[in-house]
Amino acid sequence: MNRIKLFLTFVMIIFFAVLQAGCGGDSNNSDSAKNKNNNSGLPDWEFENGFGPIKKKLYLVPLDKTMASEGEKIFESKCASCHKLDERYVGPAQRNVLQRVTPEFFMNMVINPEENLEKHPHAKEMLATYLQKMTNQNINLTDARKLLEYFRLLNEELKNDSTTNK
């Protein structure tokens, strides 16, 4: 009887050890720089979120559709000359931008493209592809936040589509 107990305890220990090893690794960092490892030499914050006035994680509440529709208008007037939603233009297609970058990176890039193009690996990589520099559109914090709300809305729609299609 005792031997069986001992054996069962042993089996339990092995079981939990394996469980730990399996789940421990990919920890809580699922949104870190959209799942890329930071070997850029930049501090982790800048690597994930870019350079600019946004220096801490945004507190994102449920979508505000009024802000999103104001963001859409700003996109039409200040960004659509270079970006389309679904196809490459002067710059990359933007509908799924929040699947590439964090909300904080989005705002920093929109407000402060020059510095990000100079220092950030994602921006530099894109510049190497698009061979044209995104220009500063004098977007203030409020307008950048409205643009972000527009892209959060588009991103929600994308997610909903992919769940209903499955």
Q: Apex CA 77: angle with CA 72 and CA 81, to 5°?
A: 110
Q: Figure out which of the listed residues 130, 155, 156, 158 binds ligand HEC, where binding follows CB under 6 A.
A: 130
- Minimum distance of ligand HEC from residue 46's CB (angstroms): 15
Q: Is 145 in the site for ligand HEC (CB under 6 A)?
A: no
What is the nearest approach in angstroms of ligand HEC to the Cβ of residue 92? 4
Shortest separation between residue 24's beta carbon and ligand HEC, angstroms: 31
132 is a site residue for ligand HEC (CB under 6 A): yes
Identify the residue among 92, 96, 115, 158 touching ligand HEC (CB under 6 A). 92
CB 91 within 8 A of CB 82: yes
Subset of 65-84 contacting ligand HEC (CB under 6 A): 78-79, 81-83
Q: What's the rounded Cα separation, in Å, for the pair 154 and 94? A: 10
Nearest distance in Å: CB 100, ligand HEC: 4
Should residue 91 be labelled a site residue for ligand HEC when binding is judged by CB under 6 A? yes
Whether the Cβ atoms of residue 101 and residue 49 lie closer than 8 Å to each other:
no
* CA angle (58, 62, 64) in 5-degree steps: 95
Q: Is 109 in the site for ligand HEC (CB under 6 A)?
A: yes
User: Which of 134, 145, 146, 153 contacts ligand HEC by CB under 6 A?
Assistant: 134
The stretch among 3-11, 16-24, 125-133, 154-162 that binds ligand HEC (CB under 6 A) is 125-133
Q: What is the dihedral of CA 52, 58, 60, 64, to 10 degrees?
A: -40
Task: Give the separation between CA 72 and CA 15, rounded to whole angstroms.
Answer: 52
What is the biggest distance separating any 2 CA atoms in the chain, rounded to whole angstroms?
Answer: 79
